[in-house]
Amino acid sequence: MPDFLKHGFFNTAFVKTACGIWFTVLIAVLSLVGFDKTMTIPRFVFTLLIFALILLFILIIGYVLFLKYDSLPSHLPSIGKRHPILIIDDDPNELEMMADRLAGGGYDITKLPVITDARLTESFGIVICDIDGAGPVKDSIAVIKSIIEDYPYKIIYPISRKQQWDGLEMIKIINKRSSEHLKLIPNLLDDAMKKLNNPRDYWESVAATLKSQHRQGDIPIMKQQFREYLESLQK
């Protein structure tokens, strides 16, 4: 698919409004032309061509402004592994083991023993949460659900000895048994960094998920939050 079609430009209100107005004016002009007995076919074609060029000019200007003010960057090569990672576990030994596993990888890591509010994750792109040990289980599950709902662009890795949790069916639970999570997490983080460093393509998948959940109305707000998060990394 051509890159300009993937940006979502043709789904914007600007394009829909511009095309609607252009089509209305074109119909009005063609209606008047129909009453002009002196109108020749070359003049008629010339009129259509002029209108087509006017619309093309408007769309080009709109697209340039869209890329400048609305579209997300395609790549963030300078960010690398600097997307902040939040690790949550109320077992200090488990928390240190996980942090030590990632030490030396160039990651920006913050550790918390518990989490009670999804807003605490606002400045983080990746959240690793041991839902067996991140405070009361019901609280940690509720917070994970809130993060998924309020910050759908964040990449979340719940860790548990259980394979399934009610309400978390939409995301994969990382198996904590036999310390399997310690082996998986570095590879998962590399994958997460690649996604976040290609924000335009990644956002397309996030937006598609929101649409499948019938949350189209949330897309502009969530996109702006994602844009603000990316901008905060480059300050």
Across 53-67, 121-135, 171-185, 216-230, the highest mean pLDDT is recorded for 216-230
Long-range contacts of 181-188 (CB under 8 A, 24+ apart): 181/98, 182/97, 182/98, 182/101, 185/98, 185/101, 185/102, 185/128, 185/157, 186/101, 186/102, 186/105, 188/157
Which residues form the domain of 91?
85-199
How many folded domains does the chain comprise? 2
Same domain? 58 vs 148: no
Same domain? 22 vs 92: no
Same domain? 54 vs 109: no
Same domain? 20 vs 49: yes
Same domain? 56 vs 136: no
Same domain? 8 vs 94: no
75 within domain boundaries: no
Report residue 23 as tokens: 């089509």
221 within domain boundaries: no
AA letter at 89: D
pLDDT band at 196 (very low <50, low <70, confident <90, very high): very high
Strand partners, 156: 127
Task: Provide the H-helix boundaries in 73-197.
Answer: 92-102, 137-150, 180-196
Same domain? 94 vs 149: yes
How far apart CA 231 and CA 8 sit, in angstroms, is 20
192 within domain boundaries: yes
208 within domain boundaries: no
Query: pTM of the full predicted structure?
Result: 0.69
pLDDT tens column, 22-55:
777 777 766 666 556 566 667 777 777 887 888 7
Residue 159's CATH number: 3.40.50.2300
pLDDT tens column, 114-163:
888 888 899 999 998 887 755 555 567 778 888 889 999 999 988 877 66
Determine how many CB atoms are found less than 10 A away from the CB of residue 221: 11
How far apart CA 76 and CA 198 sit, in angstroms, is 6
